[in-house]
Structure 1
Amino acid sequence: MASQALLTPATPLELQRDVQRKLGQCLLRLQQYEILLKALVAHGDIAGPPAGLQAVRDAQLACAKKKTLGTLVGMLTERHLTSAEEEDSTDEPQGDGGIWFRFRFQVGLDASQHQATTAALKELVDLRNELVHHFLQRFNIWESQGCIDADAYLDACYEAIDGHYLTLRGWAQGMDEARALMASFMSTATFEDLLVNGIAPDGTVDWSASGAVRCLRDAENRLATEGWTLLSTATNWIRAQHPDQHPQRYGCGSWRQVIHESRQFEIRRTVNIEQGCGEVWYRSHQEEASMQGNKSP
């Protein structure tokens, strides 16, 4: 009798319970996928001034929580999946002349991978809608055969959903690793030099963003006489106010060389008759001075 019981087909109620369990398993995995996708979309492209980055992040998280899976998948494919044939044409954020950070995570795919991944993600959204809205229309789970068909379908669905989840988790881990590397770099003296002084890791200088030029302009604002600033007076002020700023930091032998290399200033040479020596005066290029004036409140 025991062996006969083992061979007895499951009743529709037992089959229904298996279907219910597997449907729940699929929906839970979809929710895990959606939660992870919201986090990736919210953190995958953050830009703004340093003091405002947390507010930007919080706003993007709040916005992502309101998006449907279809919208989130669209954001993922448009912003974070790129093919070798595409060029990133997204405009860079425009600041007001201050410091601006941007962290952007992207997955590079070849053309065939990009096409296949985009199609697979669309199929995932369709699958989710089928499970949530049309499952009972498709399968009659009050009959044994309907339960058997639904059971096999749900097995295939879970395999597909889980595959997408594992892929997305790998991308999210890659993004977290990139963010950790960026945070580590931002704590180094090399990053401070890049941020504060405009000195790249290879030693090249972005003069317009350099601390040396910033100091020369600060001195100019305080010490100019009829639009021109005596270089010796400016350098004395810089040594007193910013002792860490010196020409050697930028690979220059003198402040005159800094002015020459930066190409941010005009130079005028005069003779001090009383002291019997030459003097060097400087001022910002007039176009630059006009732009700075326009930015002033």
Structure 2
Amino acid sequence: MDEATNMPSDDVPDLQPIVQRKLGRCLLRLQQYERQLKALVAHGELSGPADQLSTISEQKIAGAQKKTMGTLIGMLTESFLTPPHTNEEASQSEPDIGDQIGLRHRYRLEMTAEQYEALKADLKELVDLRNKLVHHFIERFDLWTESGCQAADGFLEESYETINRHCLNLQSWAKAMDEARAKMALLVQSQAFEDMFDGIRADGSIDWPDSGICSCLREAETKLAEGGWTRLEAAVRWIGNTYPEQTPKRYGCSSWRQALRESRQFEIRKFQAENEPTAAWYRSKVS
């Protein structure tokens, strides 16, 4: 070192370019790790009103881009990596979204308590290693001496093996998450998933109070009621134009009258106006 200028001399060891290359290799691998980590954290959990999930997901992705590696690791260990399941999660309160349909999905990698604590410690060491490489490398090693370069070379070889091991672990977790997301996408697009939201259970039984067909009949009431009663024929015509997928057959009924009776959510009466055929009218029961 030139004391007069406090700058390195031109006498550069032959090993220095090798050290620089290996340091660059470690930093590139760390950046790959951080990119994958941000994606894993952003997609690991999603909840909210069904019609806002796309926006919420975009916000989570943007938010993850601003987080440091240490913060991301903390988020990963608090959500995706979990010790054995406890009753704590079941007691967590969900945000109030009113009458909207809400969805929540969460991907988890469950392990024993011992494995969880060991992995947390391992990930903390990775964050410490990243900080040493990014912030303190030239403080730790004198790259203007052959012995300093040799020490740095050995440290970088070990560092790369550590970083690469964590990258491979993260890639395997991401692959498992992608497979789970693909299965979830198929489920969401299935008829069974749509039926579930309309109160049709997997065994074919109907949750009548919360069924789609009863919701449509109630909505028709608000638009077509006359003196507190709604003409069924008019309601059926309105539902057919507004919600054509809502039919009695979908709920195991042969007619709208049968659907009204089976649901036990409505009162039914028959009325014959002058010079008109008898018509069925209905109104919601008062609970």
TM-score range relative to shorter protein: 0.7 to 0.9
Is the Cα–Cα contact under 8 Å of residues 13 and 145 in structure 2 kept in the other structure? no
Farther-moved stretch of structure 1 (79-88 vs 227-236):
227-236
State which of 149, 161, 165 in structure 1 corresponds to 2:163: 161
2:229–2:281: 8 Å Cα contact kept in structure 1?
Answer: no
Counterpart-to-counterpart distance in 1, 2:20 and 2:242: 73
2:54 equivalent to 1:54: yes
3-state SS, counterpart of residue 183 of structure 1: helix
AA matched with 2:101: I
Return closer, same or farther for 1:16/1:202 CA change in 2, 3 Å cut-off: farther
- Answer yes or no: is 1:214 the counterpart of 2:215: yes
Aligned-residue offset at 1:244: 4.0
What SS class does the counterpart of residue 105 from structure 2 fall into?
A: strand
Contact 1:207–1:262 (Cα < 8 Å) also in 2? yes
> Which is further off, 116-125 or 88-97?
88-97
Q: Residues of 2 paired with 1:241 and 1:129: CA distance?
A: 60
Amino acid paired to 1:108: E
Paired position in structure 2 for 1:21: 21
Which of 136-145 and 229-238 deviates more? 229-238
TM-score (norm 2): 0.80
Could you tell me how far 1:212 is from its partner in structure 2?
0.7
Map 1:54-93; keep pairs closer than 5 Å.
54-87=54-87, 88-89=89-90, 90-93=92-95
| Residue type of the alignment partner of 1:283 | S
The whole-number CA distance in structure 2 between the counterparts of 1:108 and 1:259 is 46
Instruction: Tell me the number of residue pairs that the alignment of Structure 1 and Structure 2 aligns.
Output: 274
Return 5+ residue gaps in structure 2 as ranges.
1-10
What are the equivalent positions in structure 2 for 1:47-196 lying under 5 Å apart? 47-87=47-87, 88-89=89-90, 90-195=92-197
Change (3 A) 1:280 1:123: same
Structure 1: how far apart are the matches of 2:132 and 2:279?
85
Kindly, what percent of the aligned residue pairs are identical? 48
Question: What residue is the counterpart of 1:295 in the other structure?
Answer: none
**1:227–1:283 CA contact under 8 A, matched in 2:** no
| Greater Cα offset, 157-166 or 250-259 | 250-259
Once residues 105 and 58 of structure 1 are traced to their aligned partners in structure 2, the CA distance between those partners, rounded to angstroms, is 18
Q: CA deviation at 1:262?
A: 4.6
Distance 1:242 1:139, change over 3 A: closer
Q: Does the aligned pair in 1 maintain the 2:84–2:111 contact within 8 Å? A: yes
1:247 counterpart letter in structure 2: P
1:12 to 1:193, Cα distance in 2 relative to 1, 3 A: same
Can you list the C-alpha shifts for 1:87-118, whole angstroms capped at 9, x where unaligned?
42544343232233333222112212111111
Q: Deviations over 1:162-221 (max 9, x none)?
A: 1111111111111211222222223333333234x2324332434454221111112211
Q: Determine if contact 2:16/2:149 at 8 Å carries over to the other structure.
A: yes
Pair 273,187 (structure 1): closer, same or farther in 2 beyond 3 Å = closer
Q: Is there any run of 5+ residues in structure 1 with no aligned partner, and where?
A: 1-10, 287-297
Which residue identity does 1:182 align to in structure 2? M
- C-alpha displacement of 1:70: 0.5
Conserved 8 A contact 2:231-2:279: no
Q: 1:236 Cα shift?
A: 6.2
